[in-house]
Structure 1
Amino acid sequence: MKSGAQAGFTLIELIVVIVILGILAATAIPKFIDMSTDARVAKMHAAAGAIKAGAALYHAQWLVNADPTKTVTMEGQSVTGANGYPTADAAGIGLAAGIAKPDYEISATGFVVTPDAVASRSGCSVTYTAATATAPAGTVDLASPTTCK
């Protein structure tokens, strides 16, 4: 009678491997959480850059038109504007910057954008203020992006 040799891992070896994997996972999870915060911060910086570029492109096209009452068309769409810069709404700076839902949440009052994935949106936003007669250029305000958790 031939006795067969047993192959495989012992229970202790399996438990040791599971414990090691648990320790590695526990040290890696905070890094992944921090990376998602960094990604949201980068997304808000990108939105601020897009808004600034969109406003500058609108203003340049408005100057080229040489007619302040003429509509500015960007990427085949009519962009609303006032005082040489896009208005602070989805039909103005939203079209000029290419910022829309579902990637961003846009406030109903003014033009405030926040990342769609952020649960608490206070402090994690970009605000565009349209040009007026007393402030002839639109302004972009990036709120404290460190709160984008």
Structure 2
Amino acid sequence: MKRQQSGFTMIELIMVIVILGILAAFALPRFADFSGQARTSTVEGMAGALRSAAAIAHAAQLASANSTGATSVTLEGQTVTMVDGYPTANAAGIGAAVQIDGFTLSTGGTAAGDAITFTPNGFTGTNCLATYTAADSANAAATARVSRVTTTTTGCN
């Protein structure tokens, strides 16, 4: 009596491995490099953090009944310098308010309308940054009277 064997032959197993290899060769480039998208998301997240920190500092100043808009406020033990009711565009202003690591800050300034940029650490390219511009109540444009945050992500890839 002849016994029936079950299982796969060596050729069938090799064919499955070859097919999986071909599929992997096509799928891998699609998922290989997400660093540009990750940097873009990081910059967009930083922009959201800057907007939130500026709004919280502004609310803290309004809550303290400070009408001059230039007095510092304290947020979580950090003194935040202010100009025209919003954080200044430097490390002592918006930098202290946002309290975030992983970004390189430009010098910025303490005057109304000054700007500071936040670039992801280790990124050597250009055009991948978040920019915070301090409020300028003397500006004729209504949008310049409050702090503004913009992102540039064209060079993140």
Q: Normalising by the residue count of structure 1, what TM-score does the alignment of the two structures yield?
A: 0.75
Match of 1:54 in 2: 53
Q: How does 1:73-88 map to 2 (within 5 A)?
A: 73-88=74-89
Alpha-carbon distance change, 29 to 107 in structure 1, aligned in 2, over 3 angstroms: farther
Alpha-carbon distance change, 71 to 108 in structure 1, aligned in 2, over 3 angstroms: closer
**What is the number of equivalent residue pairs in this alignment?**
136
Match of 1:128 in 2: 132
> 2:71–2:82: 8 Å Cα contact kept in structure 1?
no
In the TM superposition, residue 53 of structure 1 has moved relative to its aligned partner by 0.4
Q: For 1:117 and 1:30, how far apart are their aligned partners in 2? A: 24
Q: Which one has a larger percent helix, Structure 1 or Structure 2?
A: 1
Runs of 4+ in 1 over 6 A off after TM superposition: 19-22
Q: Does 1:45 align with 2:54?
A: no
Q: Does 1:138 align with 2:147?
A: yes
Identity of aligned residues (%): 44
Q: For 2:46 and 2:64, how far apart are their aligned partners in 1? A: 27
Match of 1:115 in 2: 120
In the TM superposition, residue 75 of structure 1 has moved relative to its aligned partner by 1.1
Match of 2:111 in 1: none
For the aligned residue pairs, the C-alpha RMSD in angstroms reads: 2.7
Q: For 2:124 and 2:23, how far apart are their aligned partners in 1? A: 28
Q: For 1:61 and 1:75, how far apart are their aligned partners in 2? A: 11
Q: Which runs of 5+ in 2 are unaligned?
A: 1-9, 109-114
- Any idea what the Cα deviations from partners look like across 1:36-71, whole Å, max 9, x if unmatched? 222111111100000000110011011011123542
> 1:50–1:98: 8 Å Cα contact kept in structure 2?
no
Q: Does 1:89 align with 2:97?
A: no
Q: For 1:148 and 1:28, how far apart are their aligned partners in 2? A: 23
Letter in 2 for 1:129: T
> 2:128–2:155: 8 Å Cα contact kept in structure 1?
yes
Q: For 1:26 and 1:81, how far apart are their aligned partners in 2? A: 55
Q: Which runs of 5+ in 1 are unaligned?
A: 1-9
Letter in 2 for 1:41: T
Q: Does 1:148 align with 2:156?
A: yes
Alpha-carbon distance change, 115 to 23 in structure 1, aligned in 2, over 3 angstroms: farther
Letter in 2 for 1:93: I
SS of 1:91's equivalent in the other structure is coil
